[in-house]
Amino acid sequence: PRPPCSPSPARLERGPGGEAYPVRRSRFSRIAGVAQRHRHLSASRGTFAYTVRMHRMSSLLLALAVLAALLALVPLPAGRSAPPDAGLPDVARAGAALAPPQEVLVTARPGAAGAVRARLLARGAAFVEPLGGAAANAPLAGVLRVGLRPGEDAEAAARALAALPGVARAEPNRRRSAAWRPGDPAYRDGSQWALASVAAEEAWDLAPRRGEGVAVALVDTGIDGGHEEFARPGALSPLSKNALTGALGLAAARDDGGHGTALAGIVAAAADNGRGIAGLAPRATMLAVKALDAHGWGDDATIAGAVVHAVRSGARVIVLALGGPAYSRVLHQAIAFALDRDAVVVAASGNQGAATPLFPAAFDGVLAVGAVDRHERRAAFSSFGAHLGLVAPGAGVMTTAAGGGYREATGTSFAAAHVAAAAALLLAERPNLSAGAVVDALTAQAGRRGLGAWDRERGFGLLHAARPLGSLADGSYLRGTVRDADGPVPGGSVRVVGPQGESVVRADDAGAFALDGLPPGLYSVTAEAPDAPSPEPVRRVVSPAGGYSGLALGLGGDNAVANGHFEDGLASWTASAPRAAEPSPAAAFDGSLGARLGTPLEPLPAGRAALATQVLVPQQRPRLSFAYRFRSYQPAPYNAFEVAVSGRVGARLFRSASSTPPGAWQVATLDLAPFAGERVSLEFALVTTLEVPTWLDLDAVTVTSGKRDVAMPAPGSLVADLAPPPVAARSRTTYLPVVARP
């Protein structure tokens, strides 16, 4: 084998779809190889001398240990605590930072500090220590450091103390840690620009465990377990497996292609070991499941079995940096198994540079990741489209090389590895978070350009590893828009009832509202306006990982659709076939139930699956509004979602053959003026020609009178006015398009 310091020819990196990219071993890796050989030589020459010195120092070390034990028994002065990090190793400091605070900082009102101090001592405080001294104009005048009794909760104590007479505010005395920056050479010299791009240092400050205790499964070509970056205890799981041969163990999952080792370096290369690079989650445990051969190829059966093994081996995060253009029912079953057991599944979007979805990235519930370069522009090779969730660095990123050393690698595979590492950081700090909450936190807190929440080239934005962690400390949130039949309503009121009582906020000029810093729990949210009756409240359970950033609150009004929110099941609606549509909590937009046509898990037979009702259209400014999510694994031009309103004057059709973004609701409004005062048929339908999973989530269907004249969207590719059919020959086929098989 070529020594680490010798020049190496260009290497090929393969990603999803088999695309190959030349990758060269960097100058940094050759220098590291020379340094590694020098360290080995120096160590062998100095072994004997080191042993002699250790024998001479043994008595001194014993004496120091006894002295340290005696000092530990010396009591500290009353009212004081030991320095938070004194004498603690790095792991112990991480655990200490996670410990709940045992003190509260109370700010007394002007002139009331003495009385508040006496009252707190009388209530049994362990100690009360003024921080600002006696001077009235001191910077921290009136601030008291209050020690709690053992077992008291600092958050609850702060809320109770804030209600005492003379107290302006109270907050827990939270612990902070020194900002940590790894000393690895590639990180220090800026070669790992990708970590700066995703705010790694800020994330590490918020995640002292740095991924510890979280197993990340790499279903790939294996991992080179002999690399110096994976020598730390717990870096590699003994449950690793070669799914190609069925053999268990790290040796069986040895990397013979290099792709898996490159992923592993991005996820969990050792940090602060004075060598090479640092991983984004440097204390995570990697589970190597070899499902691809040395050339980066594998089949659905092997990959599906590898996913199942990863789940059964305790993986909380699964990385699938592989893909192909055709839907697979077997692979889908394995992904569904992982999602049902609360694993975060991250997949590369593909290296074709096109909008064609690849599988498994396009499966519902999988977080598909595209690549950006060091300038945060979408890489030319990075696939995009409706299945895209996030983007992350994936062009020329420094990582580990199989056989030793380091190299630069390019592909959406490596972008997916960054996102998987960010998920591991989050799960290490909050092990009880569900997989859905982790994905929601990563997408809701991504770095966006402009005001759009999602776009087809960047998904929900660039990965930001720190913001989801910050949301854990800042509390949950509810954000959204107040709407009526004509769209957003400026200045509306939003009433929120939750664990901390009731509060009212006002929407801004664009109808947007936001409540941040909420404790987790069940919230009831209602939009109110002087000229509209209050509708039924929307109820949402927010988790510690974040909350809801796309909540839409409708103002009350006369809705001509008898059961447009589906809270009573499918009353007043007629399905075209048995089980064509079912009420489902997973389809809820602003209530507890919505209607789902089709299914994400089973292929929908070719034909139509429809849900229809009869509606009397209002006379004045009639509007049709509805919220929907449409997904198909083979959309335009084969499978589509259609809405038809038909009456005496003809029909109006809303048609979409494009999948909506993952998890994102679309709200559509149509002008029904041609049907004013008429009883019409309202039909929502899925039209399929290719038998793949296709489904529609539908909720908040309203037909009501608008309050003002507004400019409706002009008919275009999604909205079409069709000519009225002859009266004697009126039928569906006269106004609904027929989609031919390819």
Which tokens go with 731?
């039928």
685 by DSSP, 3-state: which?
strand
Instruction: Give the tokens for residue 725.
Output: 């059919």
Q: Do 142 and 151 touch, CB atoms closer than 8 A?
A: no
DSSP string of 263-324, one letter each residue? HHHHHH--SSSSSS---SSTTPEEEEEE-S-TTS---HHHHHHHHHHHHHTT-SEEEE---B
189 counts as catalytic: no
In sequence order, what E strands does 489-584 have? 493-498, 501-506, 512-518, 521-528, 538-542, 548-554, 574-575, 581-584
Look up residue 508 and give its DSSP letter.
-
Question: In the chain, what are the helix, strand and coil shares in percent, each to the nearest 5?
Answer: 25, 30, 45
Which member of 259, 309, 332, 565 is catalytic?
259
Closest by CA to 693, choosing from 601, 576, 620, is 601
Neighbours of 48 (CB within 10 A): 9
Helix H or strand E segment including 39: helix 27-45
Determine contact, residues 387/362, Cβ cutoff 8 Å.
yes
**Angstrom distance (rounded) from CA 656 to CA 618:** 26
Phi-psi region of 89 (alpha: psi -120 to 50; beta: other; left: phi over 0): beta
Which of 360, 425, 432 is closest to 389 using CA atoms?
A: 360
CA atoms within 13 A on the CB side of 426: 33
Catalytic residue, from 26, 197, 383, 413: name it: 413
**Rounded Cα–Cα distance for residues 732 and 729 (Å):** 10
- Beta strands 548-554; 476-484: pairing state: parallel
565 tagged catalytic: no
Q: Which residues contact 538 (CB under 8 A, 6 or more apart)?
A: 524, 525, 526, 551, 553, 590, 591
CB 26 within 8 A of CB 191: yes
* Sheet containing strand 215-220, strands side by side: 247-248, 241-242, 285-290, 215-220, 317-320, 344-348, 367-372, 388-393
Q: Is 259 a catalytic residue?
A: yes
**Phi, psi of 228, deg, nearest 5:** -60, -25
**Residue with token string 């109808």:** 511
CA-based max dimension of the chain = 109
Whether residue 360 is preceded by a cis peptide bond, meaning omega within 30 degrees of 0, is yes
Q: Considering the candidates 205, 220, 224, 484, report the single residue annotated as catalytic.
A: 220
695 φ, ψ (degrees, to nearest 5):
-155, 160
For 364, other C-beta atoms within 10 Å of its C-beta total: 18
Q: Is the dihedral of CA 615, 621, 624, 627 positive or negative?
A: negative
Catalytic residue list: 220, 259, 413
